[in-house]
Structure 1
Amino acid sequence: MIDITTSATDNLDDNISKIIQRGFRNNVTSKGLTLQLDYIDTTFDITFTCVIFTVAFFGCIGNLVTIGKIVLDPIYHTPTFAVIGQLALADFLSVTIAAFVRMTNIMNICNTCSHFVFIVNTSALISYSHLCFLSIVRYLITVHPLQSRQHLTVTAVCSCSLTIWIFCGVFEALLTYTTENWIYTIKLSLIVNVFVLLIVCSIITLLHVKKIRTLRNSLSVTDHSQRRMNIVVTVIIGIFVLYRLIWMAIGIIVLICFQEFSDELYYQTEGLFYFSIFIECINFSCNPYILFLSQFICS
């Protein structure tokens, strides 16, 4: 949504550019046109880079193994695992691209960062949408088993998933490429983040509560299993909420600082940028481990 390599046309845009460039270490003059890591200046930066790529590596492996297992093993050719496979694909793209974009100076080499922002945001939106889709599928299978067996097929799930991919791509394209005003873009991004946060949390929580109430009438589900299900949902929502709140906080900081760039404020919030990248990688790396295993634990 923000082209940090374009010269600002006024003081307002210039100050925002400085904040974003400083926040993500994108310094065109120092990095030049050679692709390299951004976080290598200090021992902490090197450690941080190693941690991020380690998390991203295990996230990629977990998502790829999940996809391969679901595709190759007929046992997992079910509606639930079809959604998990699509979620794993979106998470794989998200963690791979996010780690590459956040940890390197790729945005400085290219003429515009809009395309990278579009890809990162689209894959993230697809991931959130499939989390909601998975909650809906599990709810239907649990609460309406007879109707689900008839209508909720793998083909139907894959068709819905494809629709989600297309819708998210079109929606994010409209947000990314239809506005050039920085302030308007940041404000719009904050509004979208709030709605995404509320919608995802509401859908997952409400459907989970309704599913738990239905399962309480089933003799085959113990209180221990219900507690495990609650823990799984709590962990997923907790990581997601923390991830979105951090990026919303960064957007608010940019809006507060737009009139006069402050070195003091930047250094006070520098740790937030590090933490945001770490949580972003965790968010897209943990889903295959949590969701895939939870099907055996909680089903």
Structure 2
Amino acid sequence: MKSNASNVGEMEDFLMNVEFQWIDEMKRSIALVNWTYIPCFVIVMLGLLGNLLTICKIVLDKSLHTPTYTAIGFLAFSDIMSLIFSALSWFTNIRTYLIATHYHDQTFLNTQDMFYILELMVYHVSLCQIILLVVLRFGLTVNPIECKIHASTSLILIASAAIWIYNACVWFTFRVVFKTLVRENRNQFLKWAAIVEVAVRCLAMLVTLSIMAILHYLKMRAIKTSSVKCNVKRRMNQIVAIIVVILAFYGISYLLATIVMFVSDRTVTAYFSTFHQIIGFVHFSSNPFVYFIFAFVCKKKS
């Protein structure tokens, strides 16, 4: 039987590696994090309110029952879920609590697993919803007649539902495989699982940014040959630029925080993870406001 000291050491190693995130003790290790709680809390509240009002406005206003606003509504919903899970992980020690509570739990899928699946799922759903909206706007701008015929509100509803189902299946399968392999060869697999998750997150962010940048470039080229007014072109360009910059900062901050976590101590990691979390809150909170303006400007030109 293992000694208590051995069990404690094993638990600390598990907490620092298996979830690949910033545990509560590290976040509270420096004063920087403490004063960021208030502005982060304000950003989260504004984001939740903004996303919720966006959904209510779209549902209640029949004139907004269009493909673009439907996509915006689903994006707002995914951002609400992302804010909730990010806030739970940042303002509470729920991750540490779940890991410690279920450390010796032999249940195949427990509360910790479901939290992990939902957290990863809403992160990638939000990115997929952004891609859906950008692709839709590209089609409505470059080939409006054909796109309006095929891209109905029902199609956007089906596509958004498919995004949620697809991500649920992917991350449920990932977690099942993860737990199966951990049981067989835990020490070796934890390291590779961390690398895989980081790589998938970074790849998803790069793909999203690339699609947005390419489609925006092609769309602006198409607009130059159309009769759209120059001031509308500039406003569209500025709004999409804001979206790309915020998303790029969020992706870069995650990459930097992850690299620092593996190569530096807890104090330095806390600085980078705090920066990443603030950018994340801003990203998920600003989407409804930015995209609502984006859709309104695009609607004015048609």
Common fold by TM > 0.5:
yes
Q: Per-residue deviation at 1:246?
A: 2.0
Per mean C-alpha deviation after superposition, the further-off stretch among 248-257 and 71-80 is 248-257
**Structure 1 gap segments, 5+ residues each:** 1-6, 29-37, 258-264
Q: Which residue of 2 aligns with 1:233?
A: 240
* Inter-partner Cα distance in structure 2 for 1:46 and 1:203: 37
1:223 corresponds to 2:230 = yes
How far apart are residue 14 of structure 1 and its match?
Answer: 5.1
| 1:60 maps onto 2:68 in alignment | no
Alignment CA distance shift 1:24-1:216 (3 Å)? same
- Provide Cα deviations, 1:11-69, integer angstroms capped at 9, x if missing partner: xx9557447999734249xxxxxxxxx75x88754431111111000000000000000
Q: Which amino acid aligns with 2:36?
A: F
CA deviations on 1:184-205 (whole Å, 9 max, x unpaired) are: 1111012212321221011111
Distance 2:72 2:222 in 1: 23
C-alpha deviation, 1:285, in angstroms: 0.4
Aligned AA (2:271):
G
The structure with the largest helix share of the pair is: 2
Residue 193 of structure 1 aligns with an amino acid whose one-letter code is R
TM-fit CA distance, 1:90: 0.2
Note the 1:256-295 alignment, pairs <5 A.
Answer: 256=263, 265-295=265-295
Residue in 2 that maps onto 1:202 = 210
Secondary structure of the structure 2 residue equivalent to 1:218: coil
Superposition TM-score, scaled by structure 2 size: 0.81
Return the alpha-carbon distance in structure 1 between the equivalents of residues 75 and 203 of structure 2: 20
Number of aligned positions between the proteins: 273
TM-score, length-scaled by structure 1? 0.82
Aligned-pair RMSD on alpha carbons?
A: 2.7
Q: What do residues 85-117 of structure 1 show as CA deviations (whole Å, max 9, x unaligned)?
A: 000000011112211222101123333543323
Q: Which runs of 5+ in 2 are unaligned?
A: 1-6, 103-111, 183-188
The verdict on how the C-alpha distance between 1:18 and 1:198 changes in structure 2, with shifts beyond 3 A counting, is: closer
Give the distance between the partners of 1:15 and 1:247, measured in 2 at CA.
22
Is 102-111 or 121-130 further displaced after alignment? 102-111
**2:68 maps to 1:80:** yes
DSSP-derived class of the 1:136 partner: helix
Percent identical residues: 25
Inter-partner Cα distance in structure 2 for 1:198 and 1:46? 31
- What's the counterpart of residue 93 of structure 2? 105
Q: Structure 1 171/9 Cα, relative in aligned 2: closer, same or farther at 3 Å? A: farther
- How far apart are the structure 1 equivalents of 2:287 and 2:207? 19
Q: How far apart are 1:256 and its partner, in Å? A: 3.6
Q: Contact 2:138–2:215 at 8 Å: present in 1 too?
A: yes
CA offset at residue 157 of structure 1? 0.9
Q: Which amino acid aligns with 1:198?
A: L
